[in-house]
C-alpha cells in the first residue's frame, strides 16, 4: 500500500531525513517512533506533499506521490490527522466530520461514511452541535481522526494521536485506532512515548536524528536496550 524508499529531506540546508525506508500494508498498524525532533512529522508531511523530498521514492498503491499536490494525495485515499488536530473552530463537530465527504466523493454513501466515524468514536454523538472552539484537546483529537476517516481512505496517518491527552481519553483513542485497523485500513502512527504504543501494533520503525535505527516488533524493541534508551528519552541529542 504505502512504501517509502531511501527518502531524504533537507530543510534550510540541514538534513532532516536521511534514507528513511518503511512500508504499511492494508489492515496494518505501523508506528514510527522517535523523540521530538527525530523527524516523524517531517516524514508525514513529506508523504502528504507539504514537504518536497530531496531524493528517494514515496509510493502509494502504485502511484508516485513525490510530485503530487497535497489535495491529489488526499483524493488518492490517504487521510491525515495532524498533531495539532486542526479542527475548524467555526464549524460544529458534525460539520467538521462531514467536511471530508464533500471534498472526496467516492462510490460509498456519505451517510455510511459518517456513521462509521461515529461508530469509531461514539462519544462524539454527544457533541454534534458543539463548536470546534468549545472542545477539549481529547475531543478535538477524536474529531480530527473522525474527519480523516470520513474521507473514506485506504490509509490513515495519525501524528501523535495521544500527545498531551488526559489518561481518561487515551483508551478511547486507542480503541478507535483498533476499530479503524479492523476495517482493513492501514494506519501509520507517529509516537514519541513508547508507553502509548498499542500492544496490537504490527511493526515499529524507530527514528533517531532522521535515520532509522530499528525495524521490528514491539517485543523485539523491548528486548533491545539501545532502542529502549532512545525511545524512553534516556540518550541526549547532540547539540
Domain assignment present for residue 120? The answer is no
Domain assignment present for residue 160? The answer is yes
pLDDT at 233: 62
Domain assignment present for residue 199? The answer is yes
> C-alpha distances in angstroms, 87 versus 71, 81, 101, 179, 221?
18, 10, 15, 22, 34
| 68 pLDDT more than 50 | yes
| 181 pLDDT more than 70 | yes
Contacts of 30 (CB under 8 A, 6+ apart): 22, 23, 24, 186, 187, 188, 189, 201, 202, 203, 204, 205
Residue 231 or 212, more confident: 212
pLDDT band at 237 (very low <50, low <70, confident <90, very high): very low
pLDDT band at 164 (very low <50, low <70, confident <90, very high): confident
pLDDT at 102: 87
Domain interval for residue 162: 2-84+153-231
pLDDT at 196: 86
Domain assignment present for residue 100? The answer is no
User: What are the cell numbers at 50?
Assistant: 507539504
Alpha-carbon distance of 223 to 171, in angstroms, equals 25
Alpha-carbon distance of 36 to 191, in angstroms, equals 9
Domain assignment present for residue 32? The answer is yes
- Over residues 142-147, mean pLDDT: 96
Domain assignment present for residue 41? The answer is yes
Three-state SS at 111: helix
Domain assignment present for residue 144? The answer is no
Domain CATH code at residue 12 = 3.40.50.300
Percent of the chain with pLDDT over 90: 81
75-85 pLDDT, tens digit per residue, is 999 999 999 99
Going by C-alpha positions, the residue among 68, 63, 53, 69 that lies closest to residue 19 is 53
pLDDT at 232: 74
Domain assignment present for residue 211? The answer is yes
Percent of the chain with pLDDT over 70: 97
- Over residues 182-195, mean pLDDT: 92
Number of domains in the chain: 1
- Over residues 197-205, mean pLDDT: 92
| 238 pLDDT more than 60 | no
DSSP string computed for 39-76: SHHHHHHHHTTSS--SEEEEEETTEE-TT--HHHHHHT
- Looking only at the bridges linking them, the beta strands covering 55-60 and 2-11 are antiparallel
- Over residues 86-108, mean pLDDT: 91
Q: Check if the beta carbon of residue 107 is closer than 8 Å to that of residue 136.
A: no
pLDDT at 239: 33
Question: In 10 A of CB 189, how many CB atoms?
Answer: 25
| 155 pLDDT more than 50 | yes
Amino acid at each position: 500500500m504505502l512504501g517509502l524508499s531511501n527518502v531524504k529531506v533537507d530543510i534550510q540546508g540541514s538534513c532532516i531525513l536521511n534514507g528513511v525506508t518503511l512500508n504499511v500494508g492494508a489492515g496494518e498498524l505501523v508506528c514510527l517512533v522517535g523523540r521530538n525532533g527525530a523527524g516523524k512529522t517531517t516524514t508525514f508531511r513529506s508523504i502528504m506533499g507539504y514537504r518536497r523530498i530531496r531524493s528517494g521514492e514515496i509510493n502509494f498503491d502504485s502511484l508516485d506521490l513525490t510530485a503530487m499536490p497535497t489535495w491529489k494525495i488526499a483524493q488518492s485515499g490517504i487521510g491525515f490527522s495532524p498533531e495539532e488536530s486542526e479542527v475548524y473552530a467555526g464549524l460544529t463537530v458534525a460539520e467538521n466530520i462531514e467536511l471530508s465527504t464533500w471534498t472526496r466523493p467516492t462510490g460509498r454513501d456519505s451517510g455510511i461514511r459518517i456513521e462509521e466515524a461515529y461508530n469509531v468514536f461514539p462519544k462524539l454523538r454527544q457533541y454534534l452541535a458543539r463548536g470546534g472552539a468549545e472542545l477539549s484537546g481529547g475531543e478535538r483529537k477524536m474529531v480530527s481522526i473522525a474527519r480523516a476517516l470520513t474521507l473514506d481512505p485506504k490509509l490513515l496517518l495519525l501524528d501523535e494521536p495521544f500527545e498531551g491527552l488526559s489518561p481518561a481519553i487515551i483508551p478511547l483513542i486507542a480503541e478507535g485506532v483498533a476499530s479503524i485497523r479492523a476495517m482493513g485500513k492501514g494506519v501509520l502512527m507517529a509516537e514519541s512515548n513508547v508507553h502509548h504504543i498499542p500492544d496490537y501494533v504490527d511493526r515499529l520503525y524507530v527514528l533517531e536524528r532522521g535515520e532509522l535505527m530499528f525495524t521490528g516488533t514491539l517485543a523485539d524493541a523491548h528486548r533491545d536496550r539501545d532502542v529502549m534508551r532512545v525511545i524512553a528519552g534516556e540518550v541526549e541529542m547532540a547539540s
